[in-house]
Structure 1
């Protein structure tokens, strides 16, 4: 995979919230996804590329369930946190405007769950014309079969599937 331009690429971390990371997940536990996403975020920050966080809230309830905050120490000060109330990250959230304001044309996606929040967000992003890269080892699902279906069948039709070590950024893009 060629290096990505940090001036036009953002890392989009989907639903890395305490209660979601703690679920029984497959093919890898949420803690492994969190570690891989953390490595990817560190690389983006070092390259000066934006890191954007998505977090889901349940609509129409007086309070969110315990563990609905992003995992502590994941977002850094100044990094956008976009709240969604649907499965995907673009519907009525302002995410597209945030990304456009940052000059982003390529998204690297990671998070939980592969076939839900990540895939729904990716489909809308593709419809909006973003180039997509999927960090396969920085995502997981409720079952391994659901994860594999997205990674093997759907994501290759939408963009490039890669692993965290294969995703590099440089200024020559």
Structure 2
């Protein structure tokens, strides 16, 4: 049975969007295309912006390749299979970057390790994060596990994230995310924001 998603308190809630950048959206997404995810994420991000809530746009980039993890593995990285793009670390135009967004650069899958994201959230009294982005089993999942270990409440925008394979996406949504947060659609999250505002007016 799902816990009710009551009106989210935007004074203590942040939206974290993972890797919605030129170099990532060229990848093949499953079960949703990356174009679909960008559209859904843009809708959610703009809803948070309209309420002047905290929005963090995360990107992964490298200066010379030496700042990116490169361990010896049994499987080649799927992130190198996309079509090369111009300005790969730039946030896609459909999302953009506004002067009120918190823009952070990372050099690994997760958004917390090696960044000041946790510091900035805590300074603002934020205890709940909403997650979306690409890819479900990589940047989103790693960030979610880090957030769980930091003690944050989490809401996963399940139709604003996609995997690099259907198996990867489904596994995380079925076995991992329900144990560390709540799974909701973009519309359900936006409705929660609206309901919170209505309750203030009454």
Same fold (TM over 0.5): yes
Matched, 1:15 2:19: yes
Instruction: Give the C-alpha shift of residue 58 in structure 1.
Output: 3.1
Q: Post-superposition, which runs of at least 4 consecutive aligned residues in structure 1 deviate over 6 A? A: none
Q: Any conservation in 2 of the 1:44–1:50 contact (CA below 8 Å)?
A: yes
For 2:91, what is the secondary structure of its paired residue?
Answer: coil
Q: Any conservation in 2 of the 1:11–1:50 contact (CA below 8 Å)?
A: yes
Question: What is the TM-score with the length of structure 1 in the denominator?
Answer: 0.93
Work out the CA distance in 2 between the residues paired with 1:57 and 1:144.
25
Instruction: Give the C-alpha shift of residue 60 in structure 1.
Output: 4.0
Match of 1:68 among 76, 89, 92: 89
Instruction: Give the C-alpha shift of residue 99 in structure 1.
Output: 1.1
Work out the CA distance in 2 between the residues paired with 1:85 and 1:93.
9
Instruction: Give the C-alpha shift of residue 55 in structure 1.
Output: 0.5
Q: CA RMSD in A?
A: 2.1
Matched, 1:109 2:154: no
Q: Any conservation in 2 of the 1:7–1:48 contact (CA below 8 Å)?
A: no
The alignment covers a number of residue pairs equal to: 173
Match of 1:156 among 161, 167, 178: 178
* Alignment match, 2:38: 34
Work out the CA distance in 2 between the residues paired with 1:108 and 1:39.
13
Question: What is the TM-score with the length of structure 2 in the denominator?
Answer: 0.80
Matched, 1:2 2:6: yes
Work out the CA distance in 1 between the residues paired with 2:116 and 2:42.
24
* Alignment match, 1:52: 56
Long gaps (5+) in structure 1: none
Work out the CA distance in 1 between the residues paired with 2:39 and 2:182.
21
Matched, 1:127 2:149: yes
Q: Deviations over 1:93-119 (max 9, x none)?
A: 111011112221100000000010001
Long gaps (5+) in structure 2: 69-83
Work out the CA distance in 2 between the residues paired with 1:40 and 1:97.
24
* Alignment match, 1:86: 108
